[in-house]
Amino acid sequence: MVKPLEMPADEQSLKEALHARIEQLGADRLSLLNRVLLQLEAEELAQSLDAAFDEDRKAGKLSSERVQRVLSQVRAECSYG
């Protein structure tokens, strides 16, 4: 069984440890790590958007009527051809 590496608890030491591990990765693992980080960013953005939409719904900014009015306005201003 492989023993997990001990990672430092403080932010700066953790960053340094991660940088050192990243330097040892090959191209295939770097690509995978990049995709993992992109997924984390996407999840954070989705959570932020969900919270913002929830706030807008509570404030009445996203009622069905308002959404339809805005969609109609955008369709009238934009040509799709």
Q: What is the pTM of this model?
A: 0.63
5 pLDDT higher than 80: no
Tens of pLDDT, residues 16-63: 999 999 999 999 999 999 999 999 999 999 999 999 999 998 998 888
* pLDDT score of 79: 77
Instruction: Report the pLDDT averaged over residues 64-76.
Output: 90
- Alpha-carbon gap, residue 30 to 27, rounded angstroms: 5
* pLDDT score of 40: 97
